[in-house]
Structure 1
Amino acid sequence: MAEAHAAVAFTFTVSSEGLYIDINKQAWAAVLRSGLRAGKKRIARFKNSVYNQVYPFHPSSWFFFAFGIFAATYLGYDYKRSPIPYIEEALKRRVAYLSLYAGFTHYFHVPACLLFSLMLWFCGSFLNQLFLRLLLSYTGWMYKPRGQKSALVFIWMRLVRLAKSRHPRLYGYQYSLPSLPLPSLRATLDRYLLSVRHLLSVKEFEELTIESEVFRKGHGRKLQFFLWLKTWFTSNYVTDWWEDYVYLASRDPIMANSNFYGLEWKFTWPIHPTQAARAAMITHLLIKVRQQLVREEISPIEVNRLVPLCSWQYERLFNTTRIPCLVKDRLMHLSDSNHIAVYYRGRFYKCPLVVNGHRLSAAELE
């Protein structure tokens, strides 16, 4: 109870002598530091979100659009045929109290040009994303012999490099990646039969072939139609089912089958002599990786430095726990976390990572 009382930042008591107010300056300072830290993270997430929404465009490219619009209007371009006059009229209706200054039409012309350039900028970024998604939908390059490039693959590579921009953030490609293609029902059944061909006898394989043909003409068509509908509403029609029924519904131990781990002495002899020192160093390095993930400073994985892969799984690499349930577990993801759980000799301990706004070093963690 003493620790809980010390954590209270503001208390007051009413007695016969009057009102007594007690302000804990240290607690208030901790609250302010926590609020500032949370505010900085929200601002950083918002900036990264804007950057990812318009990638491959850069946010600074909007100034070029705005400069082009202003230059065209002030150099004599007849902007009456553009949406700028309609935007001006809409602004005048919205701010009717500025009608006293109707003679100064540039008061409305400037924001109208800015809004029009912003619209063009968003449309351009959206078209660029569609073009890049169309290019990344091509998979013929994977079936070419390594080191041999046909004219089609060479042109495709050049177009992809032109559509991309340099130094993408971790989630920069997420709005430009194509959806997982849905194979035809016949192709799925043929691949399944090919995978079990050498595991069955000749008679069993013939029976399975007949059953697959019956399935293709019957229930398979209906199920394929439902899958086709799902592809219109999700970018990957397999992810949620795989997560629910293969990962969360699995009853196998997750410590050795699913959880990731780190070893200090994989290639060299342990540098730190004690177990606590090794655990503190690994934790310190993992926290650095988490900071890079939050700031999106890690570059996305690209095949042959050209084709990007999906990065959404990094989102739940940290601050995520699996809540055990009877039939199927569930995941809980937190936006932020300032402690870790340490398992030692059959007990769990809560170890803080931040104390009074200061992130602990490896030596302090030890």
Structure 2
Amino acid sequence: MENQLTKSVEERTFQYQDSLPSLPVPALEESLKKYLESVKPFANEDEYKKTEEIVQKFQEGAGKRLHQKLLERARGKRNWLEEWWLNVAYLDVRIPSQLNVNFVGPCPHFEHYWPAREGTQLERGSMMLWHNLNYWQLLRREKLPVHKSGNTPLDMNQFRMLFSTCKVPGITRDSIMNYFKTGK
């Protein structure tokens, strides 16, 4: 009886996905303020004043129009940034992702096998495979704990892309094929 009760209240990895709020569009003023803060350490006084003028002009002109377009985009999407991020960070990049973007899979004990010692390839490869398969099972069974900020659940959707996914080469932009399914 106790085991059934535990199962009924146990969180599932992807259970909050449909109830998460949409990604908000940051206020234009806040984005421009952060931009100016990031420029300040690299600009002398004259350069910074010129940059402030350019930012002010942008905020009142093109920035205002572009921000409206972002707000329109956000009304029709749950995550207005996701598609752009995926394209720019992964699909438009003309270098191999595995070597240059995705360095290693889930392997919490990997640091114990680095730097590599001669004759440990089989041991290290076996450990990596074992950890990856265990992680895959956690995801398939939705047993991976939900990541949270305090008590607020975070988006776990990116974990669906870790397994059963491949990047299909294209001429100018690659595409993604994903076949991940939970075991439920």
SS at match of 1:298: coil
**Residue of structure 2 in register with 1:333 after alignment:** 178
> What letter is aligned with 2:102?
N
Q: CA deviation at 1:291?
A: 2.0
What TM-score do the two structures reach when normalised by structure 2?
Answer: 0.79
Q: How do 1:159-170 residues align onto structure 2 when only pairs under 5 Å count?
A: 166-170=9-13
Instruction: Give the C-alpha shift of residue 268 in structure 1.
Output: 6.0
What secondary structure sits across from 1:266 in the alignment?
helix
| Count of residue pairs brought into register by the alignment | 169
Q: Which has the higher strand share?
A: 1
| The 10-residue stretch of structure 1 (186-195 or 327-336) with the greater mean CA deviation from structure 2 | 327-336
Report 1 or 2 for greater relative contact order, CA contacts < 8 Å, sequence distance ≥ 6: 2
How far is the alpha carbon of 1:313 from its aligned partner?
A: 0.3
Residue 5 of structure 2 corresponds to none
Q: Does 1:293 align with 2:139?
A: yes
Is it true that 1:322 corresponds to 2:132 in the alignment? no
* Paired residues of 1:167 and 1:299 also in contact (CA < 8 A): no
Deviation at 1:296, TM superposition (A): 0.8
Equivalents in 2 of 1:226, 1:294: separation in Å?
38
1:185, 1:216 within 8 Å by CA — same for their partners in 2?
yes
Q: Per-residue displacement from partner, 1:81-124 (whole Å, max 9, x unpaired)?
A: xxxxxxxxxxxxxxxxxxxxxxxxxxxxxxxxxxxxxxxxxxxx
Q: Which amino acid aligns with 2:152?
A: V
Q: Does 1:234 align with 2:80?
A: no
1:176-191 equivalences under 5 Å are 176-191=19-34
1:171 to 3, 8, 14: 14
Give the TM-score of the pair, scaled to structure 1.
0.42
CA RMSD of the aligned region, Å?
2.5
**Aligned counterparts of 2:36 and 2:47: Cα–Cα separation in 1:** 11
Distance 1:223 1:265 in 2: 45
**C-alpha separation between the residues in 2 aligned to 1:168 and 1:217?**
47
Unaligned runs of 5+ residues in structure 1 are: 1-59, 61-165, 337-366
Gaps of 5+ in 2: 1-7
Query: Which has more radius of gyration?
Result: 1
Deviating runs (4+, > 6 A) in structure 1?
none
